[in-house]
Amino acid sequence: MGVSAGRVGSCVKSAMGKGIITLTGDKSDLEQVVIEGDYEGHDFKVLLKDVLYQADYGDDYEDGSEGATAICTCCDPDDYPMRAYVTRLCQGNPQFDSGKFHNHCTECKGFGKCIGDYRESHCEVCNKHWFTGLTGFPCDNCQQKKQRERMQKALLAGDPRGMYRIFQDDSEEEEEEEEEDVRDEENCVIM
């Protein structure tokens, strides 16, 4: 069918793996409609072949979404048609997106899954996703876990002042020392 399997996006692969997009082996597979409708005032009728090589990560949304492979049907394809990502294909809930909320995490098991905001990252320590932002905040799941562990320790030691200090530390961190603390945290920083 002229499909370059290695280039197929993980979101589509994941949808195929889960049977959300079904293949029969026939050429017509590629012509199946994955989503149609209006996006930003443009008409879209997106076929499987249109999103086959879509990027898994929509961070180019401010630069014209070049990684988005679906284009509108209402404009001349040679004359800057509207482009859109189709996100959450892997969840059977496809939606148009500029890319800002298209982030298919390939570090999750299998072919991965869509997690929304492009600023979210997969934490290798706890296998959850957290808001990294553009400056790389540490994983808040791990932070919370650490805090819980410290709490438990203080509890076990019967040390209410220790627990009190934990709360104090954390509120200070948020107010003043956030930036330095981000750099000092050794956990969850992906090398």
Residue 28 or 144 with smaller CB distance to Zn ion? 144
Q: How far is the CB of 139 from Zn ion (least distance, A)?
A: 3
Residue 55 or 188 with smaller CB distance to Zn ion? 188
Q: How far is the CB of 157 from Zn ion (least distance, A)?
A: 25
Residue 32 or 91 with smaller CB distance to Zn ion? 91
Alpha-helix runs per DSSP H in 37-159: 48-51, 140-156
Q: How far is the CB of 155 from Zn ion (least distance, A)?
A: 23
Beta bridge partners of 11: none
- Residue 64 Cα distances to 25, 60, 72, 120, 173, angstroms: 34, 7, 14, 21, 38
Q: Taking phi first (over 0 means left), then psi (-120 to 50 degrees means alpha), and beta for anything else, what does residue 92 get?
A: left
| Residues in contact with Zn ion by the rule CB under 5 A | 11, 42, 72, 74-75, 82, 90, 104-105, 107-108, 114, 122-123, 125-126, 139, 141-142, 188
Residue 91 or 162 with smaller CB distance to Zn ion? 91
Closest CA to 99 of 118, 73, 113, 119: 118
Q: How far is the CB of 159 from Zn ion (least distance, A)?
A: 26
